[in-house]
């Protein structure tokens, strides 16, 4: 399908918006009037620029408060429309969006609205213009798309049709199935946006909290399926009003936007392919859409079997500290990269690479450490990489020695590199070219079998820059095929932090994304935190062994255990072992969760050790505020916080 | 009245919150449980610390989901309460907040709720604890304060009373007059917060968007008047959940909070003083409250007569540029400060001081200029200053020569200095000590009489750091006695900007505060803008004269005038003079507004020239996006934007 975006969805001036949309690969744009009004170039000059960029102008909008008005106002409104038709002629666009009247004086008379829209359509026709009438969710008399269609149907003019905007329909809880009653040739335009589910005044919701498909709560796949069933074959256009995107980089937003459309098309294609002709007109039209409409078809996600490794970038100070932490936690240094300053530490199936070569550390504090890459263990790394590329994941340029594995790497929006790879046992003669282990000189790997208290990486938690959460979540969902879970809000002493888990279908990959609730102000320290959580076979044994090796464990206040006992009605025999080991506890249905933390490794990182019992699926969120307060105190007292 | 704040209203750890509340001058605090749970100090140690700081712990909260439960759960809940009573004993606090049960299994049975609360009150009594029961706005069975009182009344235990929280009552639109039906001795605690008026899910609204009294839309004066009429003489405690405050500096927030209480007390005092005994019990109780309760009594605001001056801090490059701009605009350099590098430029009653001595320019770009001070022309500067001090406005230390005027200056939250002064004509023998003009060597002041096209300063627009808007607005309202007007949202090419006007009752002082809708991300350039708007006698004559002197005027796109003509149905004879002079236009009821801008003076400042016709009261908001886009283009093309 043709892919379009409204200029209001991107930041910058008109010329900057057009350039971003074109560079990323959109086919068309809707021109928002205020962008043109603020532009020193004439409409003709804008047309030429757009043409040069290979973009179609698919819509001019909005034309407001036209219909169902007293006669004298109609004349004024028609004059206003004529002036805009002239602008549109210069712009080279023939479709104008007219949104339903919101003025207090709007007359509640569908016949009058139809008659006046007919008049407008006649004028439009003589100017070569078509009118797409849209019901705003807060329209004075017309707020529902079926109502708008009824009026358009009654007006009965070939240059008059409807525009459907998913926000205005789904925000009101209207059933989108009624879309099928509109003939495709009268459906002139379709605008898509998602929105985070909040109960609020719909106008405010619309103007500030829209987002791209897949980032909110609407079923846009179902919505577009209805649209296609009408026979509509025009563009899908993203119209997203969002405070954050207005303040973001336009090209970054455009990439995010296009990715959301690709993911939507994929989901739509799957749904249409699963459909059969069936007996009714609806089934036939679905099949027709499936055969006629060209939709993105990336390879299906490959189910990963875990983390192949997690890479931490360190400076020399942090490298030593990380090695001591890992050793105290029972890890062994099992291999070193053949050409780079990268050492692999392993316990069970948990592999941590410490990379000292990668970053320019200039803006780091001393003792800098950060999760720089995660490697997804994939049975088919090539197919995973193909999917990533089709989901607009940018390939990261990599320097590779002649015998080294050819790993595809991409950069997530937060800067984390993501690899797809296979951890095949290495034999110099037969090693498959996609096993990354061959790049390392093996040392003591056999000694690990059966030993140790840690089984694998349970999850990796990655902080996101303020406001880039939706983009990151969509990236990990679409590129890695992860599922998102509900987000929670957690109180750091210096701000709320939002946290969301993303997991692969089988649960082998678990990521936790965190972001401060607001940007600006004094960001909490935890806004920068990242950590790796390791799954233990027996957390009490692990904690005991690690304490014996003097692993520095984050101290948990006694008040926490007193509250835990009160809150969960736990007796001394349950509480005291937790208190003695500094282990935090959570439960959820039948499941239980035990976990503890190391102190900080630099200003951003730490490790967690966890044990899940009876299918506990969470991350101990109720304990996170206690952890964050303890970390803040520890860091502040160590002089780490300026 | 005693003034208290909940620890949840301040950022930081418990010890940081307590220190901030004490330093600013609160009498007491509510301890929020999560702050204690995260604290390594024992409850006893917290008690000692609080005592040392001179703070009372007035409440421990929250105790959740207690009442109207099945019998087995009651036992669990009573055990939970006993554990908390022990904590409270160590803390030395005797009042516990129990909020209405929100659990899905809560039983809809007021008798059961009353009976179980009675049981709790018995246990509490034997521990020396009192229970304040509060209806949460989203309580499962009890969501209304009158309902909570009914249950407490039925439970009938001396250790059980109600807690009233203005948010839970006013957010639901409940009539607070019913508060008078509660006997004062059964009203155990009162929590205050305001909230910005948004239609949204009340839980989300409560957790994120509360603010201090006077910063939102609630009538808290009326609310507290009802509370006092019950005979309640306990503390007024601020419980504000707000994402921004969680991320702010605790002491700054505490000052803002205390100022809001002082302003509320002042408004309450005025209302009570205006009340007469009247015939009924209500009137009598109001008078009793007036006589018994000690309320803040700052001097009433002094109605200012205009801006005495506006001071711009400049570096040498910007000083020259500013002087050229002012000269082209018809200003004359009329005086220089006797001891400082400050020059006064004047036209009509508009005085601009260019100050080259003041700032440390290290972090400025070259060509830096900023509004550093505004001077309010007050008939009684001393009284204005007294009021400011009582409203917790910090006095700015000033160096003053032996003969110089003794001006009181305070720093607004955005850093702008605010003076109160009198511009009396100066005669060496008789000059009053508070006329600041005596600090200047007069030069050509007589030449100005009758000349010029500019009458006075119309308004000063000051950008605020992201998120500090409410604090600034409350500061200017309470310290200067200004009235706030509705805020509007305006689209800069790189983000929404919120704008609010504050005016003195007579309209002589007009300030416009602006702030980006969100912090973080890429802040729009306009996030830093400030400007001075001068009122013209005849804007077309002014624009013509200034163009003749080659004043650099901000270019307005032709598309703006085409749209203006279409939008307002203006014919050529109206549009072309505007277009020819680059003047923007707005109208509002019968009033009209004409205005134009200079190009930038550095990266933050510019001047505006305006003419108000027929009582127009706005600021041309509909034209602001066009102005901001033109400024961005101009700055970007001049290489001013990195």
Choose among B83, B522, B562: nearest Cβ to A249.
B522
What confidence score (pLDDT) does residue A521 get?
Answer: 73
Say if CB A135 and CB A148 are below 8 A apart: yes
pLDDT at B359 over 70: no
Taking the CA atoms of residue B628, residue B630, residue B635 and residue B638 in that order, the dihedral angle to the nearest 10 degrees is: 180
Choose among B42, B207, B467: nearest Cβ to A558.
B42
What confidence score (pLDDT) does residue B449 get?
Answer: 45
Q: Which residues pair with B132 in a beta bridge?
A: B97, B161
Query: Chain B interface, mutation test: which of A16, A246, A557, A565, most B Cβ atoms within 10 Å?
Result: A246
Band (pLDDT 50/70/90 cuts) for residue B116 is very high
Per-position b or e across B422-447, b if 16+ CB within 10 A of its CB = bbbebeeeeeeebbbbbbbeeeebee
What confidence score (pLDDT) does residue A290 get?
Answer: 85
pLDDT at A450 over 50: no
Q: Give Cα A553 distance to the centre of its chain.
A: 34
Q: What are phi and psi of B554, to 5 degrees?
A: -65, 125
Q: Which residue of A has its CA nearest to B491?
A: A246
Choose among B38, B492, B519: nearest Cβ to A626.
B38
Dihedral of alpha carbons A59, A60, A64, A69, sign: negative
Choose among A557, A562, A626: nearest Cβ to B87.
A562
Q: What are phi and psi of B490, to 5 degrees?
A: -130, 140
pLDDT at B357 over 90: no
Band (pLDDT 50/70/90 cuts) for residue B447 is low
Supply the mean pLDDT for chain A: 92
Q: Is A641 on the interface with B (CB under 8 A)?
A: no
Q: Which residue of B has its CA nearest to A554?
A: B40
Distance CA B443, CA B437 (A): 12
DSSP state of B100: P
Q: Which residue of B has its CA nearest to A561?
A: B37
Say if CB B450 and CB B434 are below 8 A apart: no
Q: Is B163 left (phi over 0), alpha (psi -120 to 50) or beta?
A: beta
Q: Which residue of A has its CA nearest to B628?
A: A38
List chain A residues with CB under 8 Å of B563.
33, 36-37
Q: Is A33 on the interface with B (CB under 8 A)?
A: yes
Q: Which two tokens stand for residue A361?
A: 């550390």
* Inter-CA distances, A376 with A263, A431, B52, B399, Å: 20, 19, 55, 65
pLDDT at B253 over 60: yes
Per-position b or e across B171-208, b if 16+ CB within 10 A of its CB = beebebeebbebebebbbbbbbbbbeeeebebeebbeb
Give B509: exposed, middle or buried? Use CB within 10 Å, 0-12, 13-18, 19+: buried
Choose among B38, B249, B521: nearest Cβ to A522.
B249
DSSP state of A10: S
Question: Among candidates B553, B134, B246, B257, which has minimal Cα distance to A523?
Answer: B246
Q: Which two tokens stand for residue A635?
A: 């860091």
Q: Is B626 on the interface with A (CB under 8 A)?
A: yes
Say if CB A94 and CB A128 are below 8 A apart: yes
Q: Which residues contact B446 (CB under 8 A, 6 or more apart)?
A: none
β-strands A194-195, A187-192 pairing = unpaired
Determine the distance in angstroms separating the CA of A568 from the nearest CA of chain B, rounded to an integer: 9
Determine the distance in angstroms separating the CA of A503 from the nearest CA of chain B, rounded to an integer: 27
* Window A:105-144, CB contacts with B under 8 Å: none
* Average pLDDT, integer, range B381-398: 91
List chain B residues with CB under 8 Å of A521.
244, 247-248, 466-467, 519
* Inter-CA distances, B536 with A129, B310, B329, B388, B610, Å: 44, 17, 11, 32, 6
β-strands B332-337, B440-442 pairing = antiparallel
pLDDT at A364 over 70: no
* Average pLDDT, integer, range A121-136: 98
Q: Is B249 on the interface with A (CB under 8 A)?
A: yes
Q: Is A73 on the interface with B (CB under 8 A)?
A: no
Distance CA B636, CA B642 (A): 8
* Window B:481-500, CB contacts with A under 8 Å: 489, 491-496
Nearest 5°: the CA angle A358, A361, A365 is 140
Q: Judge: A38–B494 Cβ closer than 8 Å, yes or no.
A: no
Q: Which residues pair with B40 in a beta bridge?
A: none
Distance CA B540, CA A484 (A): 60
* Average pLDDT, integer, range A487-501: 95
What confidence score (pLDDT) does residue B450 get?
Answer: 45
β-strands B236-238, B3-6 pairing = parallel
3-state SS assignment for residue A581: helix
| Percent of residues, chain A, with pLDDT higher than 70 | 95
Band (pLDDT 50/70/90 cuts) for residue A449 is very low
Distance CA B238, CA B258 (A): 9
Q: What is the tens place of the pLDDT at every residue in B277-308?
A: 566 777 788 888 888 899 999 999 999 999 99
Q: Which two tokens stand for residue A562?
A: 């007193």
Q: Is A625 on the interface with B (CB under 8 A)?
A: yes
Say if CB A1 and CB A224 are below 8 A apart: no
Q: Which residue of A has its CA nearest to B82?
A: A566
Say if CB B370 and CB B339 are below 8 A apart: no
Better-predicted residue by pLDDT, B291 or B475: B475
Q: What is the tens place of the pLDDT at every residue in B539-581?
A: 999 999 999 999 999 999 999 999 999 999 999 999 999 999 9
What confidence score (pLDDT) does residue B640 get?
Answer: 76
Q: What is the tens place of the pLDDT at every residue in B4-36?
A: 999 999 999 999 999 999 999 999 999 999 999
What confidence score (pLDDT) does residue B434 get?
Answer: 62
Distance CA B296, CA B489 (A): 35
| Percent of residues, chain B, with pLDDT higher than 90 | 80
Q: What is the tens place of the pLDDT at every residue in B306-355?
A: 999 999 999 888 999 999 999 999 999 999 998 889 999 999 999 999 99
What confidence score (pLDDT) does residue A361 get?
Answer: 53
* Average pLDDT, integer, range B581-594: 95
3-state SS assignment for residue B498: strand
* Window A:511-570, CB contacts with B under 8 Å: 516-524, 555, 557-560, 562-563, 565-567, 569
Q: Which residues contact B434 (CB under 8 A, 6 or more apart)?
A: B381, B382, B405, B406, B407, B421, B422, B424
Q: Which residues contact B167 (CB under 8 A, 6 or more apart)?
A: B137, B191, B193, B195, B206, B210, B218, B239
Dihedral of alpha carbons B423, B424, B427, B428, sign: negative
Q: Is A358 on the interface with B (CB under 8 A)?
A: no
Which structural domains are found in chain B, ordered by start?
3-292 (3.20.20.150), 306-637 (3.10.180.10)
Better-predicted residue by pLDDT, B133 or A340: B133
Sheet harboring A350-355: ordered strands across?
A408-411, A417-421, A369-377, A306-314, A350-355, A342-347, A332-337, A440-442
pLDDT at A3 over 60: yes
Q: What is the tens place of the pLDDT at every residue in A12-27?
A: 999 999 999 999 999 9
Distance CA B42, CA A559 (A): 7
Region of poorest pLDDT, from A631-640, B103-112, B222-231: A631-640
What confidence score (pLDDT) does residue B408 get?
Answer: 84
Band (pLDDT 50/70/90 cuts) for residue A633 is very high
* Window A:303-342, CB contacts with B under 8 Å: none
Band (pLDDT 50/70/90 cuts) for residue B592 is very high
- pTM above the 0.80 mark? yes
Q: Judge: A243–B518 Cβ closer than 8 Å, yes or no.
A: yes
Distance CA A115, CA A152 (A): 10
What confidence score (pLDDT) does residue B277 get?
Answer: 58
* Inter-CA distances, A60 with A131, A159, A564, B400, B568, Å: 10, 15, 59, 61, 19
Q: What is the tens place of the pLDDT at every residue in A292-305?
A: 999 999 999 999 99
Band (pLDDT 50/70/90 cuts) for residue A444 is low
Choose among B11, B200, B204: nearest Cβ to A494.
B11
Q: What is the tens place of the pLDDT at every residue in A524-546?
A: 999 999 999 999 999 999 999 99
List chain B residues with CB under 8 Å of A33.
563
Distance CA A279, CA A633 (A): 68
Query: Chain B interface, mutation test: which of A247, A488, A629, A636, most B Cβ atoms within 10 Å?
Result: A247
Q: What are phi and psi of B100, to 5 degrees?
A: -60, 145
Kind plus residue range of the DSSP H or E element containing B130? strand B130-134
Say if CB A132 and CB A98 are below 8 A apart: yes
Distance CA A95, CA A189 (A): 9
What confidence score (pLDDT) does residue A537 get?
Answer: 94
Q: Judge: B11–A495 Cβ closer than 8 Å, yes or no.
A: yes
Q: At what angle do helices A558-568 and A572-581 cross, to 10 degrees?
A: 150
Choose among B34, B520, B559: nearest Cβ to A467.
B520
User: What DSSP letter does each residue of B577-636 carry, written as one string?
Assistant: HHHHHT-EEEEETTEEEEEEEB--BTTTEEEEEEEEETT--S--GGGHHHHHHHHHHHHH
pLDDT at A355 over 70: yes
Supply the mean pLDDT for chain B: 92
């Amino acid at each position: 399908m043709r892919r379009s975006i409204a200029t209001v969805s991107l930041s910058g001036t008109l010329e900057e918006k057009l350039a971003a949309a074109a560079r990323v690969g959109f086919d068309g744009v809707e021109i928002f009037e205020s962008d043109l009004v603020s532009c020193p170039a004439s409409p003709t000059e804008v047309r030429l620029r757009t043409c040069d960029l290979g973009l179609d102008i698919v819509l001019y909008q909005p034309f407001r408060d036209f219909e169902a008005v007293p006669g004298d106002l109609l004349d004024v409104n028609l004059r206003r429309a004529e002036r805009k038709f002239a602008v549109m002629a210069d712009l080279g666009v023939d479709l104008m969006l007219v949104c339903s009247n919101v003025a207090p004086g709007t007359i509640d008379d569908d016949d009058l609205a139809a008659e006046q829209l007919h008049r407008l359509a006649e004028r439009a026709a003589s100017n070569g213009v078509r009118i797409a009438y849209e019901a705003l969710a807060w329209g004075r008399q017309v707020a529902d798309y079926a109502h708008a269609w009824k009026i358009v149907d009654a007006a009965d003019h070939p240059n008059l049709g409807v525009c459907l905007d998913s926000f205005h329909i789904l925000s009101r809880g209207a059933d989108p199935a009624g879309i099928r009653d509109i003939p495709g040739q009268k459906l002139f335009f379709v605008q898509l946006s998602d929105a985070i589910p909040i109960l609020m005044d719909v106008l405010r919701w619309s103007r500030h909290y829209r987002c791209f498909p897949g980032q909110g709560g609407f079923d846009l796949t179902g919505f577009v399926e209805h649209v296609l069933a009408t026979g509509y074959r025009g563009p899908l256009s993203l119209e997203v009003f969002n405070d954050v995107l207005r303040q973001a980089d336009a090209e970054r937003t455009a990439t995010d936007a296009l990715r959301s459309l690709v993911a939507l098309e994929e989901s739509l294609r799957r749904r249409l392919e699963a459909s059969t002709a069936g007996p009714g007109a609806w089934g036939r039209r679905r099949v027709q859409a499936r055969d006629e409409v060209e939709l993105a078809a990336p390879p299906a996600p490959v189910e990963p079997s875990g983390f192949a490794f997690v890479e931490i970038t360190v400076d020399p100070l942090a490298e030593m500290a990380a090695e001591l932490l890992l050793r105290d936690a029972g890890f062994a240094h099992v291999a070193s990269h053949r050409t780079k300053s990268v050492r692999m530490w392993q316990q069970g199936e948990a592999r941590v690479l410490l990379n000292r070569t990668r970053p320019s550390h200039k803006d780091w504090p001393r003792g800098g450490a950060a999760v720089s890459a995660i490697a997804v263990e994939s049975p088919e790394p090539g197919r995973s990489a193909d999917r990533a590329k089709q989901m607009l994941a940018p390939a990261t340029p990599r320097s590779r020695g002649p015998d080294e594995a050819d790993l595809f790497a991409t950069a997530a929006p937060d800067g984390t590199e993501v690899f797809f790879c296979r951890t095949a046992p290495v034999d110099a003669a037969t090693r498959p070219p996609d096993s990354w282990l061959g790049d390392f000189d093996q040392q003591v790997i056999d000694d690990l079998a059966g030993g140790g208290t840690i089984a694998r990486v349970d999850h990796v938690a990655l902080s996101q820059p303020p406001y880039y959460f939706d983009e990151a979540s969509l990236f990990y969902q679409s590129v890695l095929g992860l599922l998102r879970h509900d987000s929670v809000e957690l109180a750091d002493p210096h701000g709320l932090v939002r946290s969301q888990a993303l997991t692969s279908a089988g649960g082998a990959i678990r990521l936790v994304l965190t972001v401060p609730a607001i940007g600006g102000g004094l960001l909490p320290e935890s806004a920068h935190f990242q950590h790796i959580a390791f799954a233990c076979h027996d957390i009490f044994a692990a904690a005991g062994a690690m304490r014996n090796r003097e692993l520095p464990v984050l101290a948990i206040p006694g008040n926490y255990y007193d509250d835990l006992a009160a809150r969960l009605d736990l007796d001394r025999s349950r509480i005291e072992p937790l208190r003695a080991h500094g282990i935090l506890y959570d439960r959820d249905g039948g499941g239980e969760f035990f976990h503890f933390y190391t102190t900080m490794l630099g200003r951003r990182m730490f490790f967690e050790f966890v044990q899940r019992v009876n299918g506990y699926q969470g991350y101990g969120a109720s304990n996170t505020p206690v952890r964050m307060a303890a970390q803040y105190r520890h860091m502040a007292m160590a002089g780490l916080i300026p």
